[in-house]
Amino acid sequence: MQEIEIEFKNLLTKQEYLRLIDQVVKSTPTPKTQVNHYFETDDFQLRQNQMALRIRQKHQAYVATLKQPHEDGLLETHDDLTEQQVKQWLRDQISLPPNISKQLARIDLDEKRLKYQGALTTHRIEEDQEQFTLVLDHSEYNQTEDFELELEVNSYEYGQEIFNHLLKQYQIPKRHTKNKIVRFFESFSS
């Protein structure tokens, strides 16, 4: 399965995060915890091709996702995994599922070079609005924590307008925000 993901992101301070929960989230916020397990080659071949590979664990379901650039946002390629497959991946015994394998064949990546790099845990509050999904994340990884606002939309132009309005309305400065996987890998060098 594949999908195009259009999202806008902004890192938040803890105070901004708590204020958005209090003032924007209409329902009683109950964070859902998800764990992302990240994979890469020793020489960062995925990053060099602007790709990222993760397994997301939500409840007892496991989905491998390859993210790569697309003109409208990010192209996400998904494959479901069993718990047994995940255990093998975490021991660097990676056997790529068909959809992801097909995409990585385009860059001639040998799956034997992929290695488990670690995990990032996110406590996510997600609320569907009329034409977008508002996401507030509290992430923990490598003795680091951060807070993030994401806006998931179907139209880039509309999303940009709503996102800028939200930041202005709640007096949140626009911050250059890297993807979680980039922040995860950068945390090793800080």
Low-confidence ranges of the chain (pLDDT < 70): 190
Residues 81-103 as b or e (16 or more Cβ within 10 Å = b): beeebeeebeeeebebbebbeeb
Is residue 11 helix, strand or coil?
strand
Give the DSSP letter of residue 157: H
User: pLDDT tens-digit profile of 27-72?
Assistant: 777 899 999 999 999 999 999 999 999 999 887 899 999 999 888 7
pLDDT of amino acid 29: 77
Q: What distance separates the 2 farthest-apart alpha carbons in the chain?
A: 49
What DSSP string runs through 48-104?
Answer: HTT-EEEEEEETTEEEEEEEEEETTEEEEEEEEE-HHHHHHHHTT-----HHHHHHH
> Which class in CATH covers the domain with range 2-177?
mainly beta
pLDDT of amino acid 84: 95
pTM above 0.85, yes or no: yes
